Chain A
Amino acid sequence: MATSDIEIAEHALQHHFADMDQQKESSTFGMWLFLVTEIMFFGGLFCAYLVYRATYYQAFVEGSQTMNIWLGATNTAVLICSSLSMALGVRCAQLGKTRMMVVLLLITIVFGFAFLGIKAIEYHEHWTNHQFPGPNFQFEGAEAAGVNPQNIQIYFSLYWAMTGLHALHMVIGIGLVAWIVIAGWRGAYSPDYYSPVENVGLYWHFVDLVWIYLFPLLYLISKKHGG
């Protein structure tokens, strides 16, 4: 389709907006507002985490020790790189470099799947070690460490809930990026109209940011109290 940039923008203008500026500002504002709701959503879990960490610190240390720091750190690096490719992809959209944009967004998706794959490995390990809350929960070495295994179970409940919710958001994010890839490939975006790319980018960065909090909180609890 050899439509010009302006035509692309005009085609994308929705009828209830006065002009493209209003549409862009509204959609970006909407995405930021949505991310605020996501902060409140995760916030409830973070609040529960803080309360129980303060109450059962030693149990949290024990739970945290079972985390594979190397896999966690790798995942952190993977996500940071994915945010880089995402940001570069948005930049390309801004400059009208459609092919480069598609490539960078595909790289982002690959990083996303890498993250989920590593997470799946970790989940599998925890599952086979009976480190899933419920009647089958087991934790050898709890008594030896002087810790009530029930309290460790709370750590794991929060671990699975928080990383699970995060992983769900990653899946949604990959879906959104895939949608942008397809639309972008079909020439839907131009330097005058790329706010969907930017907004998906915002969402992706947010999900990355949540992980950057989760990693130290879940994986790096030091043995010495005072954290």
Chain B
Amino acid sequence: MWKNLPLFPEQASSMASQVDGLYFLLVGVSAFFTLLIFVLVFVFAVKYRHTAHPRAEQIEGSLPLELTWTLIPLGISMIFFAWGALIYFQEARPPRGAMEVYAVAKQWMWKFEHDTGQREINALHLPVNRDIKMIMSSQDTIHSFFVPAFRIKQDVLPGRFTSTWFHTTKVGTYHLFCAEYCGTEHSGMIGEVVVMEPTAYQAWLANGGATGTMAANGKELFTQLGCATCHRSDTQGRGPNLTGVFGKPVQLDDGRTVMADENYIRESILNPQAKVVAGFKPIMPTFQGQVTEESLGALVSYVKSLAQPQQKAAGGAPQPGAANESN
């Protein structure tokens, strides 16, 4: 596009062209109807001006016309709805084996941590041609993770994980914006997403200065905080064995069944009494105030790693997809 006056963001994800396609259809149909109204109003206003048409003809109405201009817009709307819904379904379901990046938003910066342990602030390096899933939470207010070039946006909430995913298709550097007003430096809470060729990405990883993978950090915390005392890897513990728990349904003591996703793990750490597993007593203490958002991410990553028989390799290779990633 025009370098000095860009009118359109780059398409750097697989969703971008789909979103743009729907957008152009909307623009086209809207332009058509806008022009239709403008032209009709103009033509009628001129043709039937009172000097040229002194006597108005009283027309009550027309049922066929009313039905036409009700049903046709309705039909067109349903097409838009369906297409928009299809796109949304795709956006809401990250594919299996996506590379995971944890993000913690706080006033007024973005903190990223790759599964492999690299940490970044306000910059996010990613390989091209990969599915990337962001797992995000906020330390304070609501923020929103927005990359225009990918056409994705997801609010980042305190007290909960939210996630979004995208498939990178183009090498380049793209804007990252916070899109939910969060206070003084809201417009300063911006960054870059740097999408790189696989070799360049590997090189970056190697230089990253990672202090162990997230899962390894999580395992350390798991021991440090005393989780291992109750959550043993056998059935003798006072708490449930967490091997293979992630991604599967869990039966609770009140009869409900819930899915063990990121938010379930998080809630179990911070507010354990909210959901108690069937057959266990509600004796788990809360760790609220003792774990940071980053630690929560590490612990979740560790529990996820217990879902597979072998420890995953460092370097962002796709994981054997035992886990059903749900939101």
- B264-288 CB mask vs A (1 if < 8 Å, else 0) is 0000000101101000011101100
Are B273's CB and A146's CB within 8 A? yes
Are B286's CB and A146's CB within 8 A? no
Give which listed residue, A55, A56, A146, A225, contacts B282 with CB less than 8 A.
A146
Beyond A57-B254, A150-B271, 11 extra complex contacts between A and B, CB < 8 Å? A55-B274, A56-B274, A58-B273, A146-B276, A146-B282, A146-B283, A148-B273, A148-B274, A151-B273, A151-B274, A225-B254
Chain B positions within 8 Å of A56 at CB level? 274
Are B273's CB and A147's CB within 8 A? yes
Chain A nearest CB from B259 CB (Å) reads: 16
List CB contacts (< 8 Å) of B277-321 with chain A: 281-283, 285-286
Q: Considering only CB atoms, which chain B residue lies closest to A225 in the complex?
A: B254
Cα A143 to Cα B286 in complex, Å, equals: 10
Instruction: Give residues in B with beta carbon < 8 Å to A.
Output: 254-255, 271, 273-274, 276, 281-283, 285-286
For chain A, give the interface size range.
10 to 19
Cα A150 to Cα B276 in complex, Å, equals: 17
Chain B positions within 8 Å of A225 at CB level? 254-255
Please name 8 pairs of A and B residues whose Cβ atoms are closer than 8 Å in the assembled complex, sorted by A: A58-B273, A146-B273, A146-B281, A148-B271, A148-B273, A148-B286, A151-B274, A225-B254
Chain B nearest CB from A150 CB (Å) reads: 8
Chain A positions within 8 Å of B281 at CB level? 146
Cα A209 to Cα B254 in complex, Å, equals: 33
Chain B nearest CB from A11 CB (Å) reads: 48
Q: Considering only CB atoms, which chain B residue lies closest to A142 in the complex?
A: B273
Q: Looking at B273, B281, B282, B285, which has the most chain A CB atoms within 10 Å of its CB?
A: B273
Cα A173 to Cα B259 in complex, Å, equals: 50
Cα A111 to Cα B286 in complex, Å, equals: 46
List CB contacts (< 8 Å) of A2-49 with chain B: none
Q: Looking at B271, B276, B285, which has the most chain A CB atoms within 10 Å of its CB?
A: B271
List CB contacts (< 8 Å) of A40-76 with chain B: 55-59
Chain A positions within 8 Å of B271 at CB level? 148, 150-151
Q: Considering only CB atoms, which chain A residue lies closest to B282 in the complex?
A: A146
Q: Considering only CB atoms, which chain A residue lies closest to B255 in the complex?
A: A225
Chain A positions within 8 Å of B286 at CB level? 148
Q: Considering only CB atoms, which chain B residue lies closest to A58 in the complex?
A: B273
Cα A59 to Cα B282 in complex, Å, equals: 13
